Structure 1
Amino acid sequence: MDLAIDNLAVDRILHDVTLTVGAGEVHGIVGPNGSGKSTTLRCVYRALKPSQGVVLLDGAPLDRIPVKESAKTLAALTQDSHVEFDFTVAEVVAMGRLPHQTGFDRESPRDREICAEALSRMDAGHLAERSFLSLSGGERQRVLIARALAQQPRVLVLDEPTNHLDISHQLAVLRLVRSLETTVLTVLHDLNLAAAHCDRLHVLHEGRVHTSGTPREVLTADVLREVFQVEAHVVPHPTSGVPQLLFEHSEVGS
């Protein structure tokens, strides 16, 4: 399923943001703090109504699709995801099945199977009976990703999915994302992780798309100097060949 953002604006935050994620592709949004990354994602997962523009799923305007129907297609991991009550991990992940159930449905054996598989893929099956509130930040993050996977979405929107995770689980989560054959739009702060795991990157700067392209096209010394205010040496990864960045702080803007 294609995901398109067309001429999106949010007052004083976003300006004419346009990008397209092809079916099954993984695209990353990168940029400095305050550039509009999370605001863009909030418009995509319908937490924020843009003042201009439209989000399209396979060409259909998202705001014309009933919320429950779109939840069968699009799942999101948000920065402000939280669980206020003392649910077990299994109960939290089961919430991902709600869009596929009617008001009178109970959790089916198939629902439980899907949830167990999602937890297993997040290396969190052993946490199923734990209280969600008792978990560490990294454990909570993995459970919330499992909840999104339990929705079985065709489009997955991830705002900092590697937040709170140790490096092993960061790499595991991003490898999983690549293996899903799902259309993915994600915000990542770590540019080296973004380069290694995204098909294309969109650099936001001051609420606008500064540049889009493959990691090799986007992560250049000039772009990093102008947008991120850093000097960077761009070198190929010794195994994959994707660009990797070695940073030194720039005097630009100081």
Structure 2
Amino acid sequence: MDAEDIAQTKSLIDQFNLADLEDVEEDRKAIESYEVFSLHPGASKRAVADRYKHLALHFHPDKGKNEPLQYFQVISVCNEILSSRAPDEDAFESWKNLQNEIIIQELNAVVEERNNMIAQMEEDREQLLDRLEEAEKKNDAKDAKITALEKENKKLSNRAAKLKAEKENKVFEVEKILDKKGSGKKIEYLIKWRGFNDPKENTWVPVAKCNCPDLLAAFESYLKKKMTSLKKAGKPKPSSRSSRASTVIVKPEAGHQKSLRSDGKHKRKIIGKLKN
């Protein structure tokens, strides 16, 4: 064997992998073995035996060529395969057809593998689209829930603002002026509010807060007449409580839902007029 033949054989042996041939047909193994021996597929048993002798003379461990043992092991395996598969006489044409069939099978296997990969990719893509669609539905449902909550929040906010405005602008009616105390700028009138029947709800309102001159004038006139009548009769000065029912519209002071009066109860600013 010349140096070129030896180098080529080593290269072919390095590419030969018996593990890859374990599950393939015997014809495929034989074709691979022919390639390692540098013989055309279909060469006879005699041609195989001659080629094996030449290879063994160089690669056999006993020949002292210091070649790796794996080279001779591969050569021995290929010789064993070809000893059973090679024809008695050269049959290049039939083996060429067989080789073409194997090539076609390999190509078909590659195409099938590629088609399987494409089908798997398509299946993965459809699953991804399904997950995306499901996620979008969840997001839509979440957005709809958020929108509904925002709408409800707006509704409640508007209602709260309306109730707050109604409280701030709530109008109270004075049913009666019951009494009077103090003097000068410290005069206060005891008010009974319509709808508040508990005497504890009666409120002492400073005169400065009583923006109802007609009602106050009527009450003062009533007190004056009462006192004049009692003087003529020689009786003691009576309480200034009025038995006359009067009505006035009042509104709480700005910033107060329920203003506190001096004795712990609510005070209200009188802003209305006497109603006939």
TM-score using structure 1 length: 0.20
Structure in which a larger fraction of residues adopt helix: 2
Which structure exhibits the higher relative contact order, with contacts defined as CA atoms closer than 8 Å and separated by 6 or more residues? 1
Which has the greater radius of gyration?
A: 2
Structure in which a larger fraction of residues adopt strand: 1
TM-score using structure 2 length: 0.19
